Amino acid sequence: MECIINRRAEFSASHRYWLPELGEAENQLRFGVGANFPGHGHNYVLYVSLIGDIDQYGMVQNLSEVKQVIKREVTSQLSYCYLNDVWSEFQETLPTTENIAKVIWQRLAPHLPLVRIELFEHPELWAEYQGNNMEAFLTVSTHFSAAHRLARPDLSYEENCEIYGKCARPNGHGHNYHLEVTVKGEIDPRTGMIIDLGDFQKAIDDLVVEPFDHTFLNKDIAYFAGVVPTAENIAVHIRDLLQDAIAELGATLHKVKLIESPNNSCEVYGNVIPSNLPPIQRVENSEKVAAGIA
């Protein structure tokens, strides 16, 4: 029986976004504070996902051995280092989150049956790499607070209560929504980026967070005058708002995940749900943060 297992590791390191062929002004313009000397640091959290059949001992891989491979090939070399200098790959392509994930895959692939690398720079920014040449995924996490009421105008209050329960009460209720937006793109061979992070965050802020935050969605967002603002419909609308803007930045909107509460979340994809999703459900990112990323 095929199964995916996940191993977590950590390392602390610094890096700088700086291309020596560019002048100081152009580096500052392109990379902002990331270009500042002598660089900045992160507590990186790494998830290594392996795939294989469950053996006679009930394991895909011996996790003690996996731990030692990750330590030998990655964390012992990167911990407390300046990433731009530590591996030759980072002289060729800057050590962005997405490129670090790619290079870690390349370092581990000869030793482990990899299916996915996830690297968290911090709880609100992480990259995923699946071994597909220069293609990678980058996720930004943010939040907004809003109220809504779940009710169809063509139904009576009693009928709406039958369908939506307490959520149909006339004065609505609120949530602290947690939003994850994932883009897909090709890693630039020099900058290491699949999208300009500042522009990516600005698109989310301008098109979603600022318009949605501290609103009554049914009344303040025109789209929801005729659409019930369930988590599913909100996620679809956010996808539609962001899709063209992200395409203009040179990437593809891959996924929007909206977490309404610790018990309820939904996700929608840029086109359709991929047919190659892993056969088992991965640990939710919110659980990863609770497990020690923050």
Q: Where do the domains of the chain lie?
A: 1-131, 132-294
* Triad 47, 50, 54: Cα angle to 5°: 135
Instruction: Assess contact for 99 and 192: CB atoms under 8 A.
Output: yes
Nearest Cα to Cα of residue 43 among 13, 71, 20: 13
Homologous superfamily of 1-131: 6-pyruvoyl tetrahydropterin synthase/QueD (3.30.479.10)
Nearest Cα to Cα of residue 107 among 164, 58, 69, 145: 69
Query: Does the pLDDT at position 274 exceed 70?
Result: no
Nearest Cα to Cα of residue 142 among 232, 194, 208, 98: 208
Which residue of the set 167, 186, 232, 267 is catalytic? Answer: 167
Q: Does the active-site annotation cover 148?
A: no
Instruction: Say yes or no: do domains 1-131 and 132-294 share a fold.
Output: yes
Q: What is the mean pLDDT of residues 6-21?
A: 97
Query: Does the pLDDT at position 283 exceed 70?
Result: no
Q: Residue 109 to residues 1, 105, 106, 129, 215: CA-CA distances in angstroms?
A: 22, 6, 5, 12, 47
Instruction: Assess contact for 260 and 278: CB atoms under 8 A.
Output: no
Q: Residue 30 to residues 8, 43, 127, 143, 195: CA-CA distances in angstroms?
A: 33, 24, 20, 26, 12
Give the torsion through C-alpha atoms of 217, 218, 221, 225, to 10 deg. 160
Number of other residues whose CB lies within 10 A of the CB of residue 153: 9
Q: Residue 114 to residues 105, 108, 241, 254: CA-CA distances in angstroms?
A: 8, 8, 34, 21
Q: Does the active-site annotation cover 167?
A: yes
Structural domain 132-294, CATH architecture: 2-Layer Sandwich (3.30)
Which residue of the set 24, 210, 214, 284 is catalytic? Answer: 214
Question: What tens digit of pLDDT does each residue of 113-152 get?
Answer: 999 999 999 999 999 999 999 999 999 999 999 999 999 9
Residues with Cβ within 8 Å of 205's Cβ and at least 6 positions away in sequence, in order, are 142
Which residue of the set 98, 121, 128, 260 is catalytic? Answer: 260
Burial group, residue 165, by CB count within 10 angstroms (0-12, 13-18, 19+): exposed
Residues with Cβ within 8 Å of 289's Cβ and at least 6 positions away in sequence, in order, are 123
User: Residue 272: its pLDDT value, please?
Assistant: 55
Q: What are phi and psi of 31, to 5 degrees?
A: -115, -5
Work out the pLDDT band at 1, boundaries 50, 70, 90.
confident
Q: What distance in Å separates the CA atoms of residue 66 and residue 82, rounded to the nearest whole number? A: 25
Question: What tens digit of pLDDT does each residue of 60-116 get?
Answer: 999 999 999 999 999 999 999 999 999 999 999 999 999 999 999 999 999 999 999
Work out the pLDDT band at 290, boundaries 50, 70, 90.
very low
Three-class DSSP labels, 267-279:
EEECCCCCCCCCC
Question: What tens digit of pLDDT does each residue of 216-273 get?
Answer: 999 999 999 999 999 999 999 999 999 999 999 999 999 999 999 999 999 999 975 5
Global pTM value: 0.89
Question: What tens digit of pLDDT does each residue of 14-67 get?
Answer: 999 999 999 999 999 999 999 999 999 999 999 999 999 999 999 999 999 999
